[in-house]
Amino acid sequence: MKKTAKRPPPETSLSRYDWSRAKRGRYAGALRKGHVVAIDDDVWASFPDEKLINEALRLLAAAAAAAVPKKGRARRPKAA
């Protein structure tokens, strides 16, 4: 009779991982907090709601990204 080799558990099986040192809820507190930013009163007075603040920040981020030159190989000007 032929011996059959033991197959490892499939990739989707959780039994293949060692859970002996796992910590429950390790990142739960950070996920529960969310992203909170304090805005000064003078800045808050300029924006009636959160949507306009987000739009202004997106425009500022796009302008900053456009102002930074892309890194690449320096090219020498063509000789005339």
Rounded CA separation 59/53 (Å): 10
Q: Residue 3 is which amino acid? A: K
pTM: 0.43
Residue 16 tokens read as: 């293949």
d(Cα 37, Cα 58) in Å, to the nearest integer? Answer: 15
pLDDT single digits (tens) 33-62: 777 778 899 988 998 888 999 999 999 999
Residue 16 has pLDDT above 70, yes or no: yes
Euclidean distance between CA atoms 56 and 49, whole angstroms? 11
